[in-house]
Amino acid sequence: MLYYLLAFVVILIDQWTKWLVVRYMELGESIPIIENVLYMTSHRNRGAAWGMLQGQFWLFYVITIVVVVGIVIYIQRLQPTQRLFGIALGLMLGGALGNFIDRVFRKEVVDFVHTYIFNYSFPIFNVADAALTIGVALMFIYTWIEEKQRKGMSDGANSTHD
């Protein structure tokens, strides 16, 4: 239940921040938060990450539904020791549903976090995108930790004691 609560909080924050941007900013307007580093920029995206596959809503609907069902199945099968994996899945679920809500009701995704990394203008994103990215990163970390532990156990089982 904790992981669904995490997903719900992500959705709430994502939708609230997007509502604020739509309500109080003009499309294309940019407000500096940290000059040359972080801006709040009102942007819309009708595609996937970095604007790929513009207007392919049916594809996004199908992919999101499949991903959400898969995440829910994984959450239902989690063991109590898999807390990090559960947090990753909760973040990914909230992020996927946050952008899905935009696609269904707005026919576009509201993006607004605009960063510059070493003078590179990183593509504008939102809270749902950040949650998805953090969730995927945590999943990789969890997988790496699990693999190290498994390898450690198999190395320990194969060693002999004098």
pLDDT at residue number 153: 76
pLDDT, average across residues 11-20: 98
Q: Which segment, 10-19, 42-51, 99-108, is predicted with the most confidence on average?
A: 10-19
pLDDT at residue number 55: 61
87-111 tens-digit pLDDT = 999 999 999 999 999 999 999 999 9
pLDDT at residue number 46: 81
pLDDT at residue number 162: 47
Query: pLDDT at residue 160 above 70?
Result: no
pLDDT at residue number 97: 98
127-159 tens-digit pLDDT = 999 999 999 999 999 999 999 888 877 766 555
SS3 string, 44-74, reads EECCCHHHCCCCCHHHHHHHHHHHHHHHHHH
Q: Give Rg (Cα) of the chain.
A: 19
Catalytic: 155? no
**Strands 38-45, 109-117: pairing kind:** antiparallel
47-75 tens-digit pLDDT = 666 555 666 677 888 999 999 999 999 99
Question: What is the crossing angle of helices 83-105 and 57-76, to 10°?
Answer: 150
Q: Which of 14, 102, 129, 162 is catalytic?
A: 129
Average pLDDT, the chain: 90
pLDDT at residue number 57: 72
**Strands 30-34, 38-45: pairing kind:** antiparallel
Q: Which of 102, 111, 155, 162 is catalytic?
A: 111
Catalytic: 129? yes
Number of CB atoms found within 10 A of residue 39's CB: 19
How far out from the chain centre does Cα 56 lie?
20
Q: Are 129 and 115 in contact (CB under 8 A)?
A: no
Higher pLDDT, 80 or 158: 80
pLDDT at residue number 49: 61
pLDDT at residue number 151: 85
